[in-house]
Amino acid sequence: MVKAILFDLGDTLFDSKRMERHAVFEQAGRQTYAYLQSLGCSLPPYKRYFRMQAFSVYSSYAWSVITRREFNTYELLVKLSRKMKLCLEDQQLRDLAWRWYSPMPQYTTVADDVIPTLTKLRSRGYKLGLVSNTCIPGFVLDRHLDLHQLREFFPVRVYSSEFGVPKPNPRIFHEALNQMGVAASESIFVGDRVKTDIIGARGVGMRTVLRQIESRWEDADAADYVIRKISDLRHVLPRVSSAPEPVDLPGVDELAYEG
C-alpha cells in the first residue's frame, strides 16, 4: 500500500524556462553588491567582487563533482563576507543569500495542475515530501516555495545543500523516508532525472515515476512509470495499489503510460 509520495523539485514540481546562466549569475552579483553597498559596507571594485564570487561558486561545484558531496552557497557567501572583512549580522547574511538567488524565480513556473493535485493527494491521506539536489540553502528554497504556495504541502523537505550528499546517494532517500516514518516499499518517488531520481530511488526500494520533459530525452525504461505532468499520477496510483479505478485527481488531459 502506498502511504507516501516524494517529489523532486526542479523540472518536476517547478517548470524551468530557458536562461543564459552567465547573465543570471551577473544579475545575482549586481544585486548582492548593491545590497552590501546599501548597508554601508566597504567593498572592492565590482569586477573584482564578481570574480571572487564566481571563482568561489565554480571551484565549489568542481569539488562537489569530484567528491560527490554537495556544497551550500550560503556558506560560500559567509566565507566571502569574512574574506572581505564585512561585519554582517545573521539576518543580513540570510538576506544576502536570498538576493543572490532572487533572479531565479523569474525562470520557474508551476503548472496549473500541481496545486490541485497536491491538495487532492493530501486530502486522501498521502504523506508528501521533497528530496532535491541543490546548492541553494534550504531557507532560500523554502521562500521560493512560498512564492507559489507550495511549502505547506511538504512538511518533510530534504535538500542536498543541507544534508551534504546528493541523489542518487541512498542516504538522502533514507533520510526523507525516516523523517516521514514510512518504508521505501510504501513510497513512490517522482522525478525528472533517471541518473539521480529514478536509479537512486529504485536503489533503496521505492517505486519510481519519471516526469518526462519534452525538451530533454531520458531513458524511460529505467522507471516503473512515466508521466507528462503531475496530475497524471491519477493513473499511476491505481496500478501501484491495485485499485480498480483512476484516483480522483483534477486537471488530467492525457494518460500516463507505463515505462
pTM value is 0.89
Q: Tell me: pLDDT of 10 over 60.
A: yes
Domain boundaries, the chain: 4-17+108-258, 21-105
Residue 127 CA to residue 194 CA, distance in Å, equals 23
Query: What three-state secondary structure class fits 199?
Result: helix
Tell me the per-residue pLDDT of 91-143, one tens digit each, with 9 for 90 and over: 999 999 999 999 999 999 999 999 999 999 999 999 999 999 999 999 999 99
Q: Which CATH number fits domain 4-17+108-258: 3.10.450.50, 3.30.465.10, 3.40.50.1000, 3.40.605.10?
A: 3.40.50.1000
Task: Give the pLDDT of residue 89.
Answer: 95
Work out the pLDDT band at 248, boundaries 50, 70, 90: low
Alpha carbon dihedral 60, 16, 200, 162, in 10-degree steps, equals 40
| pLDDT number for residue 257 | 31
Average pLDDT over residues 2-26: 92
Which pLDDT score is estimated for 254?
A: 36
pLDDT score of 213: 86
> Do residues 25 and 108 lie in contact, with contact meaning Cβ atoms separated by under 8 Å?
no
Report whether pLDDT(220) > 90: no
